[in-house]
């Protein structure tokens, strides 16, 4: 399990406002996975329907492949997200392997040994942090929702990501606010501002 | 498609061409055609590189028509890699062109007595076979460029690179794409070595003056094709995920499932997966002015391929697909997309199977020849193959040979053929297909996912663990049937979820040939093909003892799920046995 423990009081908070044309640049971060503060001890269904407020029809039709801690999930009502869980969401994938991993698919038996099975336990509902990964079509579809809510990423990885963004990204970046302080691109990259703490809470607002 | 072209490379006065009617092969296309010809005409015990073996190239039943995604081509022979029957198929243009020229199949037989290398030109006027030793040692790109300068750009080509000339068991046959580049390959099983043994470097096809093939019932055919096309476009996989990201979209989810073989099948996950995923690849392609969505053949509406440019925006290769990126990426501990793209280009040029070669390199890494993650070292090894050095010839002879030469225990092969990109310990149902397919370890052998629609062997309860034996059997039957239509296997996803799309496919076949096929007929065809292939293998010396995964998959668990392959041998023996 790829669990992470993050203390909220040592986050550096970075907020960016970018244009819609640049949003897919965050693909790298979103597919690799980010930490997300949420209620835990709830089912995947509750997380997606109630906490993220996704349309049930969208979840049913589009999010057809789900992994909880690397195991393929069939029943989103039964599978419980815990503090430190890793949740990965994907649309329908090609190939027999893709069809096999699909939830409630016809070929579920082909991956029986890696199917998620919920164990009875004390799943108290409380605040916690999970690792969330979004793949393929979902990056564009619902990635912006999480970017807007705020995600937690490793500060050094974020620094490398920020450094390599082209001029077009910064031209369309209207706000750069670090720890409540407006900055420009040069200031942001100068010194070790971004890597003062291990983790950064990144919020990205997307225009258009 | 009412004739067969036979080319006897061992004719008394040199190579000779004979055009004959279909005879007993009437009504067969693609894999049904190639496996039937090989079963009937090739002695199972012959040496694969001898005059007795044959290379059979067959378009699908609907190739050359307006049907969407109908241009897949099958290549059959006795495999120098597995020692059994082989059908390896490819995209590209030649299937459509051959079909429009009226050929249901091209059978290359015999062997020339000298060491001349030949080119074969086929157009509406006939066939011309001529020696052309200026082609010796050329890569596929250079061969196609020469053919273009000689015959113009309205051609398509079927060729081998240096690996095929060297008769290496990992050699492929290249088929040109819409841009007349040799980027599509019948990769598996060493079919390129058999073409090389016949002394044939390139077949040039020109269908100038030929028309689209006409169905018997035009209106019904047009209507069925419309429904079929709509089905492909409306499906989430064929209409969205594949066009947007290509087959490499699988990297992230297979990795997340812990079924992504990394470091020569040692691990089930690769830390660098997101750097070489389909999502990253598509972004790079778009950013550099390439294409993230592109068809490999005319008439393709899924368009899961693309154009991969280098950092300076120049064409480097076509979009490397999932199996290539995995075999030469995660399986070798390499997470540099540009280096993997370079490897893809070299494989296309030298004419090598990317899966077999990626596994050979990973095994060489395990042997300590170079370190996991050494991308430049891997590129140099591929160049060794192109140059034909002793080391290169070992690697190009496949993963099993490489493992033997370097004394490696963990060699992921079945019947001598390297495994594709899914760890059979995590997804055991795929392990069943790897073990029992007559083709050796093959991810496409049980790819078609239409079994419960076809009701092959009755409805299978997917939640029963033992269902994987029946599922693997049914998937292999369905796949054999689809391989015979010439339809791209990716249509299977839409067919799985949308019964009306499967019906549209049947309607197209019926309208085109004036038939009344029902699902049971398709099932019967698939069973018949598998039966023939299995019978050939038994006579060639491949029995149920060869339907097994290497022992280490049963004894060494793979992480993160700590799972082994534990399907009993007696269950495996039930798969191709109905």
Three state DSSP letters for B425-476? CCCHHHHHHHHHCCCCCCCCCCCCCCHHHHCCCCCCCCCCCCHHHHHHHHHH
Q: What span, in angstroms and rounded, lies between the C-alpha atoms of B314 and B477?
A: 43
pLDDT per residue as tens digits for the range B480-509: 888 888 888 778 777 766 788 888 999 999
> Residue B82 corresponds to which tokens in the numbers above?
């597995």
Is residue B337 within 8 angstroms of chain A, CB to CB? no
Contact B496 A98 (CB under 8 A): no
Q: Is pLDDT of B423 > 90?
A: yes
> In the structure, what pLDDT confidence band is assigned to residue B380 with cuts at 50, 70 and 90?
very high
Min Cα–Cα distance to chain A from B429, Å: 4
Which chain B residues have a beta carbon less than 8 Å from that of A95? 247, 250, 322, 443, 447
Q: What span, in angstroms and rounded, lies between the C-alpha atoms of A155 and B27?
A: 64
Mutation choice for A interface testing from B322, B427, B554 by most A CBs within 10 A: B427
- Higher pLDDT among residues B109 and B454, named by residue: B109
Q: What span, in angstroms and rounded, lies between the C-alpha atoms of B333 and B356?
A: 16
Q: Is pLDDT of B390 > 80?
A: yes
Q: Is pLDDT of B454 > 50?
A: no
- Residue A181: CB partners within 8 Å, gap ≥ 6? none
- Strand B200-205 versus strand B118-123 pairing type: parallel
Contact B236 A100 (CB under 8 A): no
Closest CA to B263 of B208, B200, B335: B335
pLDDT per residue as tens digits for the range B152-185: 999 999 999 999 999 999 999 999 999 999 999 9
Question: What is the CB neighbour count within 10 angstroms for residue A207?
Answer: 13
Residue B459 confidence (pLDDT): 45
Max Cα separation, chain B?
63
Residues in chain B: 578
Lowest mean pLDDT among B123-137, B359-373, B486-500: B486-500
Q: What span, in angstroms and rounded, lies between the C-alpha atoms of A208 and A144?
A: 12
Would you give the distance in Å from CA B135 to the centre of its chain? 25
Average pLDDT of chain B? 92
Q: Work out whether the CA dihedral B194, B200, B206, B207 comes out positive or negative.
A: negative
Q: Is pLDDT of B522 > 90?
A: no
Min Cα–Cα distance to chain A from B435, Å: 14
Q: What span, in angstroms and rounded, lies between the C-alpha atoms of A47 and A43?
A: 6
Lowest mean pLDDT among A5-14, A54-63, B83-92, B536-545: A5-14
Min Cα–Cα distance to chain B from A80, Å: 18
Q: Is pLDDT of A8 > 60?
A: no
- Residue B515: CB partners within 8 Å, gap ≥ 6? B509
Q: What span, in angstroms and rounded, lies between the C-alpha atoms of B550 and A17?
A: 54
- Higher pLDDT among residues A105 and A176, named by residue: A176
Contact B11, B114 (CB under 8 A): no
Is residue A67 within 8 angstroms of chain B, CB to CB? yes
Residue B456 confidence (pLDDT): 38
Residue B489 confidence (pLDDT): 77
Q: What span, in angstroms and rounded, lies between the C-alpha atoms of A149 and A73?
A: 25
Q: What span, in angstroms and rounded, lies between the C-alpha atoms of B355 and B247?
A: 14
Q: What is the mean pLDDT of residues B536-553?
A: 96
Q: Is pLDDT of B382 > 90?
A: yes
Residue A196 confidence (pLDDT): 78
Question: Which range, A19-33, A132-146, B433-447, is most confident?
Answer: A132-146
Closest CA to B363 of B419, B428, B442: B419
Q: What span, in angstroms and rounded, lies between the C-alpha atoms of B61 and B67?
A: 10
pLDDT per residue as tens digits for the range B459-479: 444 334 456 777 788 778 878
Residue A83 confidence (pLDDT): 95
Is residue A99 within 8 angstroms of chain B, CB to CB? yes
Closest CA to B442 of B107, B61, B79, B195: B79
> In the structure, what pLDDT confidence band is assigned to residue B79 with cuts at 50, 70 and 90?
very high
Residue A10 confidence (pLDDT): 56
- Higher pLDDT among residues A1 and A186, named by residue: A186
pTM over 0.95: no
Is residue B41 within 8 angstroms of chain A, CB to CB? no
Contact A98 B250 (CB under 8 A): yes
Q: Which of residues 360-389 of B touch A (CB under 8 A)?
A: none
Q: What is the mean pLDDT of residues B2-16?
A: 96
Q: Is pLDDT of B188 > 70?
A: yes
Q: Is pLDDT of B199 > 80?
A: yes
Residue A108 confidence (pLDDT): 79
By percentage, how much of chain B surpasses pLDDT 70? 96
Q: Is pLDDT of B313 > 70?
A: yes
> Residue B179 corresponds to which tokens in the numbers above?
């841009």
Which chain B residues have a beta carbon less than 8 Å from that of A88? 252-253, 256
Q: Reduced to 3 states, what is the DSSP secondary structure of residue B82?
A: coil
Is residue B452 within 8 angstroms of chain A, CB to CB? yes
pLDDT per residue as tens digits for the range B245-257: 999 999 999 999 9
Mutation choice for A interface testing from B241, B253, B474 by most A CBs within 10 A: B253
Residue B575 confidence (pLDDT): 87
- Residue A130: CB partners within 8 Å, gap ≥ 6? A35, A36, A38, A40, A81, A83, A84, A85, A86, A87
Q: Which of residues 406-425 of B touch A (CB under 8 A)?
A: 422, 425
Mutation choice for B interface testing from A22, A69, A86, A135 by most B CBs within 10 A: A135
- Residue A186: CB partners within 8 Å, gap ≥ 6? none
Contact B244, A136 (CB under 8 A): yes
> In the structure, what pLDDT confidence band is assigned to residue A96 with cuts at 50, 70 and 90?
confident
């Amino acid at each position: 399990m790829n669990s992470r423990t993050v203390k909220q009081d040592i986050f550096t908070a970075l907020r960016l406002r970018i244009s819609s044309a640049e949003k897919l640049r965050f693909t790298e971060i979103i597919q690799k996975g980010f930490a997300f503060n949420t209620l835990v001890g709830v089912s995947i269904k509750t997380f997606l329907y109630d906490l993220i407020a996704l349309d049930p029809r969208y979840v049913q039709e589009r999010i057809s492949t789900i992994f909880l801690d690397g195991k393929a999930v069939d029943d989103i009502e039964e599978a419980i997200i815990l503090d430190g869980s890793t949740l990965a969401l994907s649309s329908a994938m090609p190939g027999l392997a893709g069809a096999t991993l699909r939830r409630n698919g016809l070929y579920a038996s082909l991956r029986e040994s890696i199917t998620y099975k919920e164990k009875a336990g004390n799943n108290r509902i409380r605040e916690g942090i999970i690792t969330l990964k979004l793949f393929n079509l979902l990056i564009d579809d619902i990635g912006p929702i999480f970017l807007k809510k705020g995600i937690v990423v490793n500060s050094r990885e974020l620094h490398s990501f920020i450094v390599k963004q082209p001029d077009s990204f910064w031209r369309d970046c209207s706000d750069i606010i670090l720890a409540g302080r407006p900055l420009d691109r040069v200031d942001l990259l100068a010194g070790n501002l971004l890597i003062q703490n291990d983790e950064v809470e990144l919020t990205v607002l997307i225009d258009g | 498609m009412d004739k067969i072209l036979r080319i006897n490379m061992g004719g008394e006065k040199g190579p000779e061409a004979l055009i004959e009617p279909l005879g007993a092969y009437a009504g067969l296309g693609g894999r049904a055609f190639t496996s039937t010809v090989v079963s009937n005409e090739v002695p199972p015990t012959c040496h694969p590189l001898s005059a007795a073996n044959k290379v059979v190239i067959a378009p699908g039943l609907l190739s050359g028509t307006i049907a969407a995604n109908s241009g897949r081509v099958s290549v059959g022979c006795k495999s120098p890699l597995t020692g059994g029957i082989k059908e390896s198929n490819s995209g590209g243009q030649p299937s459509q062109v051959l079909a429009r020229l009226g050929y249901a199949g091209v059978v290359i037989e015999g062997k020339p007595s000298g060491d001349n290398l030949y080119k074969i030109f086929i157009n509406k006027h006939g066939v011309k076979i001529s020696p052309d030793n200026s082609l010796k040692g050329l890569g596929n790109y250079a061969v196609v460029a020469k053919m273009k300068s000689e015959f113009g750009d309205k051609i398509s080509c079927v060729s081998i690179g240096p690996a095929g000339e060297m008769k290496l068991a990992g050699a492929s046959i290249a088929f040109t794409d819409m841009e007349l580049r040799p980027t599509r390959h019948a990769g598996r099983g060493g079919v390129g070595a058999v073409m090389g043994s016949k002394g044939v470097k390139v077949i040039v096809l020109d269908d100038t003056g030929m028309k689209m093939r006409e169905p018997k019932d035009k209106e019904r055919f047009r209507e069925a094709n419309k429904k079929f096309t709509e089905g492909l476009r409306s499906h989430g996989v064929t209409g969205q995920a594949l066009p947007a990201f290509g087959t490499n979209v699988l990297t992230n989810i297979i990795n997340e499932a812990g079924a992504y073989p990394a470091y020569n099948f040692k691990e089930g996950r690769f830390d660098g997966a997101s750097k070489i995923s389909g999502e990253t690849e598509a972004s790079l392609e778009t950013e550099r002015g390439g294409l993230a969505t592109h068809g490999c053949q005319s008439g393709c509406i899924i368009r899961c391929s693309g154009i991969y440019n280098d950092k300076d925006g120049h064409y480097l290769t076509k979009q490397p697909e999932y199996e290539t990126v995995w075999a030469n990426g995660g399986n070798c501990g390499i997470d540099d997309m540009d280096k993997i793209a370079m490897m893809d280009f070299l494989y296309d040029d030298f004419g090598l199977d990317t899966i077999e070669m990626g596994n050979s390199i990973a095994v060489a890494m395990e042997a300590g020849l170079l370190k996991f993650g050494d991308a430049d070292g891997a590129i140099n090894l591929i160049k060794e193959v192109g140059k034909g050095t002793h080391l290169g010839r070992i690697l190009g002879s496949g993963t099993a040979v490489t493992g033997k030469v370097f004394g490696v225990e963990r060699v992921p092969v079945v019947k001598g053929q390297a495994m594709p990109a899914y760890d059979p310990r995590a997804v055991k149902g795929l392990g069943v297909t790897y073990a029992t397919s007559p083709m050796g370890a093959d991810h496409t052998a049980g790819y078609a996912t239409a079994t419960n629609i076809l009701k092959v062997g009755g409805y299978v309860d997917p939640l029963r663990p033992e269902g994987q034996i029946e599922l693997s059997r049914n998937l292999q039957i369905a796949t054999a049937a689809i391989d015979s239509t010439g339809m791209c296997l990716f249509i299977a996803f839409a067919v799985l979820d949308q019964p009306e799309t499967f019906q549209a496919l049947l309607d197209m076949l019926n309208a085109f040939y004036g038939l009344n096929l029902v699902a049971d007929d398709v099932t019967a065809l698939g069973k018949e093909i598998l039966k023939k292939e299995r019978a050939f293998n038994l006579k060639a010396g491949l029995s149920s003892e060869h339907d097994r995964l290497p022992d280490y998959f049963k004894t060494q668990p793979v992480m993160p799920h700590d799972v082994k392959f534990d399907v009993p041998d007696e269950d495996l023996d039930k798969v191709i046995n109905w």
